[in-house]
């Protein structure tokens, strides 16, 4: 696994200036990183999508996965801008037809996610995109889903990594040699 500083200082500053801390949400003790101010700012959102699209190309992805729900908001425009198809990883029960499913724990609860069993071609290289890497439970579950489809992993890219929650260390076995890119670290 490689660690990369993928954003310029200027981009990091722009992104961080539009992320809002909400203490004790959704439960006491959690500081929620709210990205809605960033999404609402055309310059910051555009720069974020551009940076993620550049990572799709740099990592040699052929398909882009977004993790419901906030991951969709970032991954879908990045995939389109990079000229790649988008694959949704959804919370359980939302995808019709054959799926792979994986339960997991995240910073503030438990959930289960699914992907279509036929979402990828055997020669696809998949980049997984999400907004936040916290404990890594969600990303780890998504990598297990990609593994079960038989597709190769191009990497994981997140807007923000909460380093104090240890997600990067947790992802090491599932990432193998694939990179984890975080545009900003907190």
Residues taking part in catalysis: 70, 107
Q: Which residue blocks in 59-130 are alpha helix, DSSP H?
A: 70-82
Q: Which does 137 bind (CB under 5 to 8 A by kind): ligand PRP, ligand ADE, none?
A: ligand PRP
Contact with ligand ADE (CB under 6 A): which of 104, 107, 155, 183? 107
Phi-psi region of 176 (alpha: psi -120 to 50; beta: other; left: phi over 0): left
Tokens matching residue 103: 């339960």
Q: Segment 114-153, which members bind ligand PRP (CB under 6 A)?
A: 130-139
First vs last Cα of the chain: how many Å apart? Answer: 20
Q: Output 26 or 150, the one with its CB closest to ligand PRP.
A: 26
Q: Which does 30 bind (CB under 5 to 8 A by kind): ligand ADE, ligand PRP, none?
A: ligand ADE
Judge contact between 140 and 153, C-beta under 8 A.
Answer: no
Contacts with ligand ADE: how many residues (CB under 6 A)? 8
Tokens matching residue 109: 């609860």
Rounded CA separation 21/98 (Å): 39
Please tell me whether residue 67 binds ligand PRP under the rule CB under 6 A.
yes
Please tell me whether residue 106 binds ligand ADE under the rule CB under 6 A.
yes
Contact with ligand ADE (CB under 6 A): which of 51, 52, 67, 132? 132
Rounded CA separation 106/97 (Å): 26
Q: Segment 28-47, which members bind ligand PRP (CB under 6 A)?
A: none
List interacting residues with ligand ADE (CB under 6 A).
30-33, 106-107, 132, 134
């Amino acid at each position: 696994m490689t660690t990369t500083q993928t954003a310029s200082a200027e981009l990091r500053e722009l992104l961080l200036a539009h992320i809002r801390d909400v203490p004790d949400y959704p439960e006491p003790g959690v500081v929620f990183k709210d990205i809605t101010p960033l999404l609402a700012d055309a310059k910051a959102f555009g720069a974020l999508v551009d940076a993620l699209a550049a990572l799709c190309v740099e990592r040699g992805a052929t398909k882009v996965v977004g993790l419901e729900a906030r991951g969709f908001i970032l991954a879908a425009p990045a995939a389109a801008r990079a000229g790649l198809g988008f694959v949704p990883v959804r919370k359980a029960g939302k995808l019709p037809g054959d799926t792979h499913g994986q339960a997991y724990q995240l910073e503030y609860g438990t959930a289960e996610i699914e992907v279509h069993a036929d979402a990828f071609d055997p020669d696809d290289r998949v980049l997984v995109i999400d907004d936040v890497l916290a404990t890594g439970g969600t990303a780890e579950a998504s990598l297990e889903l990609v593994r079960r489809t038989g597709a190769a992993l191009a990497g994981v890219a997140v807007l923000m990594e909460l380093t104090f929650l240890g997600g990067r260390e947790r992802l090491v076995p599932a990432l193998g040699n694939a990179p984890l890119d975080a545009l900003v670290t907190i």
